[in-house]
A and B are shown apart, each in its own frame.
Chain A
Amino acid sequence: MREIILIARREFLARIKNKTFLFMTVLSPLLMVGFFVLSVYMTQMESTQHRILVIDESRLFMDRIPNKASLVEFEYSNEVLLDAEQKFSERGYTALLWISPNVIEGGAGACKLFYSKIPGYALQNHIRTALEKIVYEEKLLANDIQPEVVRNARQHIQLILQQVGQKGSYADADGMRYLGFLMAALMMVFILMYGMMVFRSVLEEKQSRIVEVILTSVRPVKLLIGKISGIALLGLLQFICMGLLTWLLSQGLRQTYLSQSIKLYEVYKSQQATVFKNGAETDFSKLSRFDENLELFDLFKKAETLAFDHVFWVFVAFFLAGFLFYSAFMAAMASAADTEADAQQFLLPVHLPLLAAYFIAVQGMLNPDAAIVQWASWIPFTSPVVMISRITSGIPLLTTVFSWLVLCISFGIMILWSARIYQNGVLNSGKKTRWLDLWRWTKKHH
């Protein structure tokens, strides 16, 4: 046990003192949150100012299309389209929106946007949404229905899945499936990233021949366990640090960027409750409108239903077991390699099952009950990735625990197998290892 601790400690300290570790731990959450903010910002950013001339031949939209905070300004005119089209840009307009008289009946070409400066997606979306909403309200009014009634009658229904007799594993049927998919991808990346640390460490010790001295003091299996546990601890620490930092950053983001939306969401929830309680007697004229925030509120609701702590711990448990299993496998492969070029060949059996697991996880998103998905949840080569992708789809806790136990037992078998390959492989220098040699080493004691 002492040797295992010594080896683990060395592996842990050698890496934690490395600047790359610190850099990765801090930079990854910054990058993750940064990319998220940037992508949201980029889609919303419309730096070009637009003055849009509206020729509304239907007379439905006059002065009703909302301007957008000093960036988009609509001006209305009764000119003929042909004249306006020729001159709108000379008169300082960036676009011309023409609405046909029969827009209410719909059909292609009912609305046209002529432009001199190409309008961004956000602007197009703004115009389309505004027009659709006005047409929608007009149609409701044509049928003697007040739009407020309909607006407040809307209720998002969430279908929560929970297996009879199971606790803790429930999920929004549609909402968080993508989260499972994202976690599967993360799981694959993490296993490969930390597995590669073990791979490189074994290869380095073999190439520098230091392993020959270590093996006089430590049995190969203990050396492997020490090495893997040191890196597993490092991975766990880095994972927790990264998680904590991401959480802190997202909290900061929430306070600065989403605080207003969260307040509005609270108002929206209380309004919904009032409408539910009072029904038709509600005074709709006094209710606030949240049309522009409904999509975001939908996301908030979905996030509220997910048991994040459960998902987090399952992720940590499967990451650890999956890493242990794969790193033992990768250590065996590294011991067989003699050069960097060799190493690529021996990484193939590691990459293939992980890639397969990822594709099965994609399949699992569409059909969580497919036989291949079920099987892959039990096979240790694929279970860490596939199980985590299914966790948001309401997997019973017992199934999750059982799959994890199978993975842990498989690690025990893998480390014994790996140690056999390892003790032969690390001493086999200067001679190219063939796949047949691996088979021989599995059977023969060093």
Chain B
Amino acid sequence: MLHAENLSKSYHGKCAVNQVSLSVHSGQITGLLGPNGAGKSTVLRMLNRILIPDSGNIQFKQKPLTAQSVQRFGYLPEERGLYRKMKAGEQVMFFAALKGLSRKSCREQALYWFDRLHLMPLWNTRIEQLSKGNQQKIQFITTVVHGPDVLILDEPFSGFDPVNVEQITRELIQFKGSGKAIILSTHNMENAETLCDRIEMMHLGNHVISGGLSELQKNQATHSYLIEYRGLPMAFANALWASAEILHQEPNVQAETHRVIIRVSEGHTIRTIIQQINQSVELVFFKVQVPTLREMFMNQIQNKAVPYA
């Protein structure tokens, strides 16, 4: 639905985003991940036409992105802001009207969302009198009130308590189910892992990882395995010899077993290692170690310090 190709943006000669490409598909949640200063917000601003890229192009539904198409987007920036003196209901209706809704639709949609997020009693309350959590909810409503095709959310869960995180998560899943394209920028890896169908990872302005979560886990496989055995640790170590490296081990006193994480050395296979282990100790449990998103993220940050172009 939304496709950006080779986006670049510099500020005062410093490159903030360098040749970044990404795609957001209908009915999918794409996670844009990266540490602070990775260039995520700049990419999101370019997708919203708040910033014009120095180079590259963005297409929405196979057509160049226009101001008109951005009206079909809902944008929740990282640093939230509402008119403090304005009443909650008026505020939501104002933003809905700016997105092109008729006066009647503005009211209907605003009422629908206030009801849905249990905010109806706060319709006539000034923003400055609301709790932070409720202000965040109002901000979320202003993003979705016009029924956008694309949702661009920068840290949507920040400032929410676990109950509200759960509620917003449910809403996002529902949006996804109704065919909306969602792009989600977050530092919360657990959320991203649960919600996102695709991951786009950025570091220092560069695009470092891209793809579906399982695809990435496969690509980023570390050839590590979790093994639980009963027997002598010395016998286990001898069985491995030079075919694998022990990364971590701990005894399971209750079960009288040992838990070990091993990484298979180059030129060896897990099949032969298992055979060797079976001859020396009793194999109780075996599992392939899949890298988590957090591990992939940390791995990228620590190993791929790409200098600014």
Give the distance to chain B from A304, nearest Cβ to Cβ, in Å. Answer: 47
B residues near A (Cβ < 8 Å) are 12, 45, 48-52, 67, 70-71, 73, 75, 77, 79-86, 94-95, 97-100, 142-143
Q: Could you write out 19 A-B pairs with CB less than 8 Å apart?
A: A3-B98, A10-B86, A14-B86, A18-B85, A209-B80, A209-B81, A210-B81, A210-B82, A212-B45, A212-B50, A212-B75, A212-B79, A213-B77, A213-B81, A213-B142, A217-B98, A427-B50, A427-B51, A445-B52
Which A residues between 207 and 248 are near B, CB-CB below 8 angstroms? 208-219
Closest to B139 in A: A213
Given contacts A209-B77, A217-B71, A427-B45, contact A446 B85 (CB under 8 A): no
A372 within 8 A of B: no
User: In the bound complex, what is the Cα–Cα distance between A440 and B142 (angstroms)?
Assistant: 34
Give the distance to chain B from A10, nearest Cβ to Cβ, in Å. Answer: 6
Please name all residues of chain A whose beta carbon is closer than 8 Å to the beta carbon of B98 when the two chains form the complex: 3, 6, 214, 217-218
Candidates B51, B81, B95, B100; contact of A208 at CB < 8 Å: B81
Please name all residues of chain A whose beta carbon is closer than 8 Å to the beta carbon of B143 when the two chains form the complex: 213
Please name all residues of chain B whose beta carbon is closer than 8 Å to the beta carbon of A6 when the two chains form the complex: 94, 97-98
User: In the bound complex, what is the Cα–Cα distance between A400 and B231 (angstroms)?
Assistant: 103
Give the distance to chain A from B9, nearest Cβ to Cβ, in Å. Answer: 10
Contact A216 B81 (CB under 8 A): no
Contact A210 B83 (CB under 8 A): yes
Kindly name the residue among B51, B80, B86, B98 whose own CB sees the greatest number of chain A CB atoms within 10 A. Answer: B98
Give the A-B contact count at a CB cut-off of 8 A: 62
Contact B83 A215 (CB under 8 A): no
Contact A10 B81 (CB under 8 A): no
User: In the bound complex, what is the Cα–Cα distance between A307 and B100 (angstroms)?
Assistant: 48
Give the distance to chain A from B3, nearest Cβ to Cβ, in Å. Answer: 19
Give the distance to chain B from A438, nearest Cβ to Cβ, in Å. Answer: 13
Please name all residues of chain B whose beta carbon is closer than 8 Å to the beta carbon of A205 when the two chains form the complex: 81
Given contacts A14-B86, A445-B52, A446-B51, contact A216 B70 (CB under 8 A): yes
Give the distance to chain B from A395, nearest Cβ to Cβ, in Å. Answer: 43
Closest to A212 in B: B77
Closest to B41 in A: A212
Contact with B along A434-446 (1 / 0, CB 8 A): 0000001000011
Closest to B143 in A: A213
Contact B70 A209 (CB under 8 A): no
Please name all residues of chain B whose beta carbon is closer than 8 Å to the beta carbon of A427 when the two chains form the complex: 45, 50-51
Which A residues between 389 and 425 are near B, CB-CB below 8 angstroms? none
Closest to A215 in B: B50
Please name all residues of chain A whose beta carbon is closer than 8 Å to the beta carbon of B100 when the two chains form the complex: 2
Given contacts A3-B98, A218-B98, A427-B51, contact A213 B75 (CB under 8 A): yes
User: In the bound complex, what is the Cα–Cα distance between A144 and B83 (angstroms)?
Assistant: 83
Please name all residues of chain B whose beta carbon is closer than 8 Å to the beta carbon of A18 when the two chains form the complex: 85
Given contacts A14-B85, A427-B45, A446-B52, contact A213 B95 (CB under 8 A): yes
The 10 residue pairs across chains A and B that have the minimum distance between CB atoms: A210-B81, A208-B81, A209-B81, A217-B98, A209-B79, A212-B77, A216-B48, A215-B50, A216-B75, A6-B97
